[in-house]
Amino acid sequence: RQRYVEKDGKCNVQHGNVRETYRYLTDIFTTLVDLKWRFSLLVFILAYAVTWLFFGLIWWFIAYCRGDLEHLEDHAWTPCVNNLNGFVSAFLFSIETETTIGYGHRVITDKCPEGIVLLLLQAILGSMVNAFMVGCMFVKISQPNKRAETLVFSSHAVVSLRDDRLCLMFRVGDLRDSHIVEASIRAKLIKSKQTQEGEFIPLDQTDLSVGFETGDDRLFLVSPLVISHEIDERSPFWDVSRHQLEKEDFEIVVILEGMVEAT
């Protein structure tokens, strides 16, 4: 039976017929973070390679327009960039400028005002590219998907008596020594519903109380805990018998939120 949310937390919902795709570009940072790793690495490489090539072409064009390439052996001639003798050397100088390597063989002179302006532009743009791409990769690396692998839920939920009250219960535990700070848990019942007006809602979401009124939904998750939903008059399972429960088509999604202490 197909699930709405898999056991590992992945949603089976796929967006189709999205017309306003330009909205993804307006939030380019989140779009890059959501990309698969192979595409993120491709964008990461292209972002640097394209800027290096672009500015390398401009450095070569400045040298070509000033006539530096025609006076390579003329020691009396002051070029815009010393030891720049073609596009390959211009490309290498572009890399050295943007990455601030500074090997010392190629260096800009003070007789080239357009080169000084280009140097400032490349330094500023290079810093922006570094901040954007490094920030994007850091966010992608620190995503909580892998941290969730060490959060363990019980394989089955049970309905049983606790303190003479009928409760739906399941267990959750953390395998790591680093704690999850301000951990909170909530549960959603996903089930088809038909309103009194005859409207059919295929994936209606209903809250299952797991202690919001008493504060029991805020967890101190240092040892495995049993989460309990009391089946009372406010519960959607109040009018459901045991046999109906076995035949009903529904899904319960449990969401555990918190901050990782280490990061």
pLDDT for the residue numbered 260? 84
- The CATH code of the domain at 21-142 is 1.10.287.70
Q: How confident is the model at residue 8 (pLDDT cuts 50, 70, 90)?
A: confident
- The tally of CA atoms less than 13 A away on the side-chain side of residue 171 is 9
Element holding 201 (H helix, E strand): strand 200-208
115-123, long-range: CB < 8 A, 24+ apart: 115/59, 115/62, 115/80, 115/81, 118/55, 118/58, 118/59, 118/62, 122/51, 122/55, 122/94, 122/97, 122/98, 123/97, 123/98
pLDDT for the residue numbered 39? 93
- For domain 147-260, which architecture applies? Sandwich (2.60)
Which residue shows structure tokens 């390579």? Answer: 72
| C-alpha triplet 76, 77, 81: angle, nearest 5° | 130
Distance from C-alpha of 248 to C-alpha of 175, rounded to nearest angstrom:
33
The mean pLDDT value for 187-191 works out to 93
Rounding to the nearest 10 degrees, give the CA dihedral for residues 197, 200, 250, 220. -70
Phi, psi for residue 21 in degrees, rounded to 5: -70, -15
Distance from C-alpha of 108 to C-alpha of 93, rounded to nearest angstrom:
9
Distance from C-alpha of 185 to C-alpha of 229, rounded to nearest angstrom:
12
Sketch the domain layout of the chain as residue ranges: 21-142, 147-260
pLDDT for the residue numbered 173? 93
pLDDT for the residue numbered 2? 79
Q: What is the mean pLDDT of the chain?
A: 89
